[in-house]
């Protein structure tokens, strides 16, 4: 069984072998930049990156898309999901080439997708998806999220507040008491 460091190194190496122009690339990744003729067709800008958090791998896919490609919405979302499937398939194959072992990656949650307008014709999509890395034991969770920490600090501050100090104003000796 491989350690977490070996698995992360292998997945990082597999992802680094996916850059545009890699000489030893035998198969396609499934990205849009691989479609068409490299000289005659306009190049499409897209790619992915990976990062790690505890026992999860987070894949971020970004691409430049036209407005007409976004609509209908569910078809566009399915296309982005298919890109994630192709990326995951490539990472598993490349990991097996690099380390001579296999890795299991299971999907955690839904895809988080953000589409921003660059102009009236072009848009920029950035989508992230999390995968749980299988075969990793002894990895602790990261603890509280920043929202939970903020909420607990606000509660502590509110517990410190008392109204006793606000009512302890010194009496003015010049005013008569009624």
Q: Tell me the per-residue pLDDT of 8-26, one tens digit each, with 9 for 90 and over.
A: 888 888 888 777 555 555 5
User: pLDDT at residue 132 above 80?
Assistant: yes
Provide DSSP, 88-105: HHHHHHHHHHHHSS---E
What confidence category does residue 39 fall into, taking pLDDT thresholds of 50, 70 and 90? Answer: low
| Calpha distance 158→123 (Å, rounded) | 45
The burial of 7, by beta-carbon neighbours within 10 Å (0-12 exposed, 13-18 middle, 19 or more buried), is given as: buried
pLDDT one-digit tens code per residue, 79-113: 999 999 989 998 998 899 889 999 999 999 899 99
């Amino acid at each position: 069984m491989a350690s977490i460091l070996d698995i992360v190194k292998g997945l990082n190496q597999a992802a680094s072998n996916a850059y545009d122009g890699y000489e030893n690339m035998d198969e396609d990744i499934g990205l849009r930049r691989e479609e068409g003729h490299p000289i005659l067709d306009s190049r499409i800008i897209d790619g992915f990156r990976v990062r790690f958090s505890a026992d999860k791998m987070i894949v971020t896919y970004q691409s430049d898309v036209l407005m007409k490609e976004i609509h209908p919405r569910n078809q566009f979302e399915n296309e982005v999901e298919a890109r994630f499937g192709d990326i995951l398939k490539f990472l598993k194959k490349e990991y097996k080439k690099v380390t001579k072992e296999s890795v299991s990656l299971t999907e955690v949650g839904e895809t988080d997708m953000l589409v921003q307008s660059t102009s009236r014709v072009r848009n920029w999509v950035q989508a992230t998806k999390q995968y749980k890395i299988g075969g990793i034991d002894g990895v602790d969770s990261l603890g509280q999220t920043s929202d939970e920490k903020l909420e607990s600090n606000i509660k502590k501050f509110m517990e410190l507040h008392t109204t006793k100090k606000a009512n302890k104003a010194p009496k003015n000796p010049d005013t008569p008491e009624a």
